[in-house]
Structure formats: C-alpha cells, structure tokens
Structure 1
Amino acid sequence: MKTILILEDNAREMERLVKIVREQGTQNEVICAVNLEQAYHMAMEKSIDLFLLDIILDPRTSGDASGMKFADHIREVERYHFTPIIFITGLEDPSLYAYSDVQCYSYIEKPYDTKQLSELIKETLMIPTDSSASDRVYYRRDGILLKLCKEDIVYIENGRSGRVIHTTADERYLPYKPVKEILKELDSDDFVQCNRFVIVNRNYVETIDSVNRYVTFKNRTDSVEIGLTYKKNFLRRVFNG
C-alpha cells in the first residue's frame, strides 16, 4: 500500500485528482490537504510515498507559489529528502526551479490530460520506498524512469555541462547535479569523493599512486586524479573503509 498526499485548494480539482489516484489501486491511501498547515500536519503524522502539489493555492495573491514553499520545507525533513513530488501547475515554465531547487520528480501543466497524469502517477508509485531499494539508484532520462545498481557504478564524473556515470558495462550521461547531492542519493560508504568533480567506488580501485595523485580501476584503462585537498580523506576511506 502506498500513501499519496494531495495539496490542492480547488474542490473540483481535488475530486478529480483523488479519482485518478484511486484508479492506481483502491488499497492506496489518499490524503487530502487544502492548505499548507494541513499538508504539514499530515506529512508529519503519516509516511508519504508521493506528493501531488498544486503550486498556486491562492490565485488572488500575486506571485503565490505556496506549493513550492511546501516542497522546500518538506525536503528539509530527513525521510522526505527523495520522496517523489509531482507539481501540478498553471505556470508557463516552472521546470528550472522545480527540478534544480526541490528535486521534483516531474510536473504537469494545467489543463492536464487525465491519461497522461494517470500514467505519470503509476510510474512514480512503482519506485520502491523500502530498504529493498537501498542497493539501487533511480533517475529519469528522456522521460523514462531507469534504475541502476550501485555495485555496477565504477566512478562518476560531474561537471557544469552534466555528469557521466561510468559503469561496468557503459557510460550514462545525465544532467548536472551537485556532488553533495549525488553522494546523499548514493548513501553508501563505498563511494568516496577523490576530487572536486569525481566520486569513486572504492571496490573498483586497482592501484593508487599517492605521489603523482591518481587512481586506476580494475579491468579498466582509464584513471582519475586525486585532488590535493581530498587526498588524505580519500586514502583513509579507501584503505580503512
């Protein structure tokens, strides 16, 4: 059973959203909130698996973005760091703020297509939220939800133009994300930052040249630099765990 919280002030829209969510499974619990206070209270009382948030709760107030405000605060709660959020909005282009600042899973613009939203909710509810998912990471590429086993990641290069996940089988090219956030998503002691832009899976380390400051990997010909300021911690983490 999954628990979905809907934050929507319009009664007709709320009824429509509840119906769409119910179609994903009658066993799912749907929690309805019409304002921020209700939403905060319910999120603290329950364990939410998906947030459906209307961005504008008070259209009479110029510049209202109450749904964004709620998302900002809910991301500060540890158990909701990575809980999927779908924004429902009438704004023309909220994607830049939504994705970069609160890491929303997706957004859909009003007037939305019922079938499209239904498929999006169905896709989102398939994301595991229990401990069995701890060995995998999830990401979206070209609108498709993909998963990747952490143990298959050799190292990750990150830069302003994007990030490259080097796996045992291939390379995955994804949008930029701060290294701090990547490490938080990986949530594993196996991954160690070795310079400003690179995270290494210590299980694949073959050799370390501490003098020339570079590391090589098992069954690979590539190598990466060990940053001077990262060297001490990197060596300690790789050798001592």
Structure 2
Amino acid sequence: MINLLMVLADNDEAQKIYEVLRGSKCHFDCYCAHNAPEALKMLDENKMELIILDADLRDGSGLELAQQIRRLACYQFTWIIFLSRDNQYEVEAYRKIRCYDFVVKPYHEELLLATVEMLSRYKITDVSEDDRVVVTFKHRDSYLRIPARDILYFEVFGNNSTLYTYTEEYLLKKMSLRRIKLMLPKYFVQCHKSFIVNRNYIESIQKGPYGWEIRLKDYDRAVPSGDKYKGNITMF
C-alpha cells in the first residue's frame, strides 16, 4: 500500500484525481488536505511516500509548504509532484524543492496517473532514500532530470560543467562546482579542483603519467585526482 498525500485547494480536482487513482493497478491509501496546517498534520501522523501539491493554495504558496516539508528529515527525498495554473514557479520548484514533476493545468489525469504509478514502484522495490534522489539541471532549452545514482562524475570548467554517465555527456551552462555539490547525495566527493566523482563507481586509484587517476567500473576514461582531495576517496 502506497500512502499518497494530495494537497489541493479545489475539492473537485481532488475528487477527480482520487477517482483515477482508485482505478489503478497499484494500491494507494489516499489522504487529502486543503491547506498547509492540515497537510503538515497528516505528514506527521502518517508516513507518506508520494505528495501531489498544488502550487496555488488559498492560504499561501505551495512552494513555501514544500520547503517546510523538505526540512522534515523523513521527507527530504520524498517524491513531490506540483500542479499549477502556470509555469511561473517551475524553475524554483525544480531547483529548491527538487520536485519530480511540475504539471501545468489543464492536464490529463491519466498522464498524471502514469507518473504516479511509475514512482510508486520505487516504494514497492524498497529502493533506498539515496537511490531515489533525482537531480534537475537546465540543459539547453529544457530541464534534465536524472537519478543521481546514474551519474559517474562531473567535470567543471569555470561556471560550466559536463555531466557524465555510461552512455551520455551533458553540457551544463552556468553550473559551478559549488552549486553542483549542494545538489548531490553524500556519495559524491570532490576528487580534484575541477572534478566530482560518484564514489560508488570507484574501482581503483593508481598513479598515472600525470598524477593520481581514479578508475571507474566498466569505464575506459580515467578521472584525475589531486593530492589535496585524496582523503575524500580513500574510504571508497
């Protein structure tokens, strides 16, 4: 059973979503709040795995409520889907709240259900909190959402950086090393003045022709390691 909290100002909208969820193959235990105090009370009394949150609550901003939720230790990485009448707060929702999706009204309830069902599988398979972290970056004219566990390393040059996975490379403009570090789980460590590496993929550290090199599992390219940062990776 998946505990799902809807925080919606409109009763009719809440009822429509509830009816769609009732027809799902997944089993949801749905809770509905109409304002921030009700939502915080329900979050305290029941552990929620997924939150659908209206960005335009009558008693205040849904983003402000989301910030309060993120300050609760047990909800730092809980999936949040925003619903909004426009995209005014979309960038803030991704960057500050680390929401999974930002849906602009009107929308198709079936598409929302498909997203909810997909996210619910993370609960069913008992994935750890760290493995559930999804980071969001501006990439070209859209937003790139990628599970943190799939990232091998970052190479930073000035205020730009490149994100590397096994299959892709993404150029991220105006993304400094300091900003990247704030967005990532603790298993990412700085190994060089210009590199951040996912410690879970480290296979070995060895001396190369130009200094220390980190070898990653099933990956040909080496990641440089500076002497100053060697202590960050010796406990991999």
Report the structure, 1 or 2, having the larger strand content: 2
Identity of aligned residues (%): 23
1:204 paired residue number: 203
For residues 102-181 of structure 1, the aligned pairs below 5 Å read: 102-128=97-123, 131-133=126-128, 136=131, 139=134, 154-157=152-155, 160-161=159-160, 163-167=162-166, 170-173=167-170, 178-181=180-183
Cα deviation code 1:192-236 (max 9, x no counterpart): 212354222453333147xx764242663444252x7xx1xx323
Q: In 2, distance between residues paired with 1:26 and 1:55? A: 26
Using structure 2 for the length normalisation, give the TM-score: 0.75
* In 2: Cα distance, 1:4 partner to 1:116 partner: 17
The reply to whether residue 236 of structure 1 matches residue 231 of structure 2 is: yes
Counterpart for residue 62 of structure 2: 67
Deviations 1:18-41 (A, max 9, x none): 112222247311011011001001
Distance 1:67 1:15 in 2: 19
Q: Does 1:192 align with 2:194?
A: no
Check the 8 A contact 1:158/1:179 in 2, yes or no.
no
- Number of residue pairs matched by the alignment: 221
Is the counterpart of residue 2 in structure 1 residue 2 in structure 2?
A: yes
Q: CA 1:146–1:127 in structure 2 vs 1: closer, same or farther (change >3 Å)? A: farther
* TM-score normalised to structure 1 length: 0.74
Which residue type is aligned with residue 236 of structure 1?
G
1:103 Cα deviation from its structure 2 partner: 0.8
Gaps of 5+ in 1: 59-63
Judged with a 3 Å threshold, the aligned counterparts in structure 2 of structure 1 residues 99 and 236 are, in CA distance, closer, same or farther, namely same
Q: In 2 relative to 1, CA 25–127 (structure 1 residues): closer, same or farther, beyond 3 Å?
A: same
Aligned partners of 2:193 and 2:53: how far apart in 1?
35
Instruction: Output the aligned Cα RMSD.
Output: 3.5
1:78 equivalent to 2:76? Answer no
Q: How far 1:155 sits from its partner (Å)?
A: 3.0
